[in-house]
Chain A
């Protein structure tokens, strides 16, 4: 263990500000044990231990190392988790805080990233795997693509989901604020403080382990103190304000309409493999904050762009800024001998920090002819060799490609895209590069705003659509303002005014006092020329995550891809979790050069949510398991559960489907046996159904009757108080949308019932017509679905049983079919409706739901001698289908008129008002005689129960594809008829009674059925009138 943390440098001024050397942490990577410190990221800890190869690349399987220090990292994407259940794929090692016992593996590489077998393919296949390789190679036969894809994906290694259940929970919190500040660099902190001081509700979030952003690595002085100290002071002030919510380790992942932003807070990911219980209570591992902000301040800063040169993907090629971050934050100097290749001043900090941390700076290749600026002068003063007008054109490597071993440096002619003069080879183990900075415009782009190019800053900034997004304020580097002073001034000047327009008064806030360094002009260099043409030079990577090279982009343009969106799709540049953070600008610039265009002419691709991956747990929150979806229960639900009912989901309702009993043999009845028994009970004795789920709407007002006449197809003007009537509702296109029985309770008072599934929609339907078309009608609608518990007592013995429990005169003359009465049942005030959905003598008992159980139990207490049997929805379906009663949504599909259903008896063509649906029923199409019409089907083989949905043909011998004339809508076995039977829709079916039709099935069997009336049982309806 002599090499323990061999790249961790000794403590010193400005080194390792964020680690605690007194808190060593053990972790494993690819099965090997390492040690780091509290304050490390997994990436910095790996670098401290000299782990150069952390992964294999996606397509070519090349060894890859850590490149960046933040969310933009393309290579160090790992599989995290010490157990199967806690596996988390695609975690960026640069964003993962180290904790004791952390266990990670490379996402790519088999058996591991060091000894990767797939790289054999990469090496052999590399030159033969040009862009579009998969499209071109695996395109035929098309049916094989699924097979190819599986192999390719396995080889590519995209991380894997755990195969066991997640032990953790995740949740959501809804937040609202005046100002959401995304990013806690100096501009974000100042904006948050400016807003918060005046009492506005502020949320400040930052994706990193701590607040501060660029100030964490800054030499600048704010308000007289070093930048990291200033950060601590401001954060302390904000934390003390009760109008401020501070969210660290919280990524703003999506920016949606009207300033709705999703924030993914990693609450325990930095502490351990799984969230610990707190006091025996579960804590959410991560949390999704759904934030509605009035204003969004986008202070997301900028990402450094790497330079695109040959061999730029070999471990040891780093972003200049990342080098500074590791040295300053974690005292990790990831090499010995550095060559820096830069286009700007800021990157010089990497060389200065490298030297301060005891490393050797071999040379600085600066693409500018005359570098000047405070940082450049410091480097010169420190004795560093600066090679002006040049760049690293190639990083060389050993045979394995595991680490840089040299840099080829040459003078470059940027405009001519060629090298100028001789090439010098420098011995080094590290090449740091900086091609400038790209404002992080991803979130702005989520709103649909295309970024716009700014030549003065050599980058894209958030643009405007046809109108500005209200309350959206990009600031600082995210807006292309790299001068901190100017960024502060802009916030101080404009933020109060912007918020004042929304009634949020801000006191003026003085910008922090700054001491900054003078900077020289940067130069734009996106693709470093090589001594060989791009196509023949060693690979120059543009997008490291997706293995897209400069040559691939050139080839794409040569092959005719001219739109940047097409180039993106052809090459995969900026795909997936990367979303083009490092490579997009370089790639677009290369495409622009190849196409002879400017960058603005070429444009950008679209960045989409999520900015970085979000685990599914956080997206789902607590809407999983038992809380996945509401389960609606009736007042009798517990009774059904106790009886062992099987349940059916009807919308969100849980309805008893059937009640299997234990047979004499000790076995439970099958569904078929239970349903047959329940059907016989209703037809021969008496059954009871929990019908509480039926939609019920109370309708009051002097125009209630008129309203019903307009909304239903049939007439209501003559329905007397005390009577009920079945009604059909159509949409204005003439198609049936709902049905149900409506009762006249009093002259101005009706109770409408709707289908279980249609209750909410029908209430809205009534309201839309009342509110938008007929506001003059005096009528009000109120849902009473949940208020009434409804029990359908049905069967020949229904009257005898009920008469034992009620004070209502049930005599067939005193209480006729389609009437209602009020009284008590088992001592509970009730309304009873004498309506029938089974064809048998039926009484629907309605009581206030709190009193349902005493009534329900009283029925059973008295029901034994009558054979009272509870029945479920399946029996209800069989019984109603035997009677030819439709279920809207099962026997109809939005294309059936009342006449198609044979229900013209329910259409009042002579009603004075042109009711909803009437006009459409006279259109030529709705008058066609060959429309699909509802009929009964009787299979010739009594044993056959046709499949619902089975297609019907007239000639079974015709060639495939056969001409289909309809389909089965409902099909059951009838215990009463001892025969399978079905309802179906058949073209011109009403005129086909007695004909045979055929139902060819997938297994080759063709069923034969006779078209019959849709009423199979008691066609004269005598049984319900007993």
Chain B
């Protein structure tokens, strides 16, 4: 009996790809720049669901990241991150192209347990917001309290962002990340650029985005049995 069907959605590297913000031009304002916004496109995003006791050891052995058990906790690895979304839901972000292999290994490690792994890479994108006024921009955008006294490094929340939603997380003292849904990405970006205008805001595409598509042959599919 096949239990779950999933496949490697990445075609060969010769096939072009488009991030949700592909149509937005980079912006380098004249004058001071107090906030820099970058899109880190094409990462693989996996949504993990299950009881912590079911997932913890498998997740740690496969990803090298300890499953965060505290609410609002996010752990960062080398190009990877794992965020608590709810008592039985986590977001794993890894370099583009690694998602399928990780899903396969996780499924193998988890065996017959009840859990869910869903590839959501095409449905959202990762932005970073960096600079001395990053917090000011966030304060204009979200109802959540982003004051450093309340929002330490390593915290991540899902909250209201302008009239959309976003995952907001703090990577270090001056660097924040946002995960926004694909269909809302254009709106969120335009909102951020507007909110940052008074401080000077730049928009860039992140350099050196890893294209790890070669790692997995195109079209490989898996039916877990």
Contact = CB atoms under 8 A, between A and B. Distances in A.
Q: Do A and B share a direct contact in the complex (Cβ within 8 angstroms)?
A: yes
Interface of A: 171-176, 201, 278-284, 290, 292, 622-623, 626-627, 629-635, 638, 653, 693, 698, 700-702, 721, 745-749, 778, 780, 782-789, 822-824, 826-829, 847-854
B123 A746 contact: no
Given A174-B144, A782-B47, A851-B9, 16 more contacts: A171-B195, A174-B140, A176-B147, A279-B200, A627-B191, A700-B116, A745-B5, A747-B1, A780-B116, A786-B183, A787-B121, A824-B218, A827-B12, A827-B14, A827-B15, A851-B11
A176 B138 CA distance: 13
B170 to A, nearest CB: 15
Interface residues of B, number: 70
B154 to A, nearest CB: 19
Contacts of A822: 5, 7, 221
Which residue, B5, B115, B164, B219, has most C-beta atoms of chain A within 10 A? B5
Contacts of B17: 850-851, 854
28 contacts: A278-B198, A622-B191, A622-B194, A627-B162, A629-B163, A630-B163, A631-B186, A632-B183, A635-B182, A638-B23, A693-B183, A698-B118, A700-B4, A700-B118, A701-B116, A746-B5, A746-B224, A747-B3, A782-B47, A783-B120, A785-B123, A786-B122, A787-B121, A822-B7, A827-B14, A848-B121, A849-B20, A851-B17
Contacts of B105: none
A786 B32 CA distance: 36
B184 A698 contact: no
A645 to B, nearest CB: 15
A632 B22 CA distance: 15
A759 to B, nearest CB: 10
Given A290-B143, A747-B2, A851-B17, A829 B116 contact: no
A782 B91 CA distance: 12
A41 B218 CA distance: 73
Nearest to A703: B114
Contact of B4 (A171, A746, A789, A853): A746
Given A627-B194, A746-B5, A847-B9, A782 B187 contact: no
A746 B223 CA distance: 8
Contacts of B198: 278, 281-284
B124 interface: yes
Given A698-B118, A786-B122, A850-B18, A281 B4 contact: no
B120 to A, nearest CB: 5
Contacts of A631: 186-187
Q: Choose among A631, A721, A850 the residue with the greatest number of B CB atoms under 10 Å from its CB.
A: A850
B183 A633 contact: yes
Shortest beta-carbon contacts, A-B, top 5: A786-B123, A787-B123, A849-B122, A780-B116, A848-B9
A174 B221 CA distance: 47
Interface in B124-161: 124, 139-140, 142-145, 147, 149-150
Nearest to B197: A281
B173 to A, nearest CB: 15
A911 B221 CA distance: 34
Contacts of A847: 9
B32 A851 contact: no
Contacts of B9: 828-829, 847-848, 851
A849 B185 CA distance: 13
A171 B5 CA distance: 47
Contacts of B1: 747
A174 B137 CA distance: 10
Interface string B40-56: 01100001011000000
A914 B19 CA distance: 45
B108 interface: no
Contacts of B118: 698, 700, 782, 784
Nearest to B100: A829
A175 B136 CA distance: 10
Contact of B195 (A622, A784, A850): A622
B139 A174 contact: yes
A838 to B, nearest CB: 24
B92 to A, nearest CB: 13
B16 A853 contact: yes
A829 B218 contact: yes
A775 B133 CA distance: 44
B101 interface: no
B8 A171 contact: no
Count chain B CB atoms within 10 A of each CB in A171, A622, A693, A829 and give the residue with the most: A829
Nearest to A820: B5
Nearest to B188: A630
Given A171-B140, A653-B183, A780-B116, A827 B11 contact: yes
A297 to B, nearest CB: 19
A782 B32 contact: no
A534 B136 CA distance: 58
A252 B20 CA distance: 40
A849 B121 CA distance: 8
Nearest to B23: A638
Interface string B206-225: 00000000000011010110
B122 A854 contact: no
B2, B7, B11, B14, most chain A CB atoms within 10 A: B11
A26 B42 CA distance: 59
B120 A787 contact: yes
A849 B143 contact: no
Nearest to A177: B147
Given A633-B183, A746-B223, A827-B15, A174 B124 contact: no
A632 B184 contact: yes
A853 B123 contact: no
A778 B11 contact: no
A953 to B, nearest CB: 43
Interface in B80-127: 88, 114-124
A847 B12 CA distance: 14
A826 B121 CA distance: 20
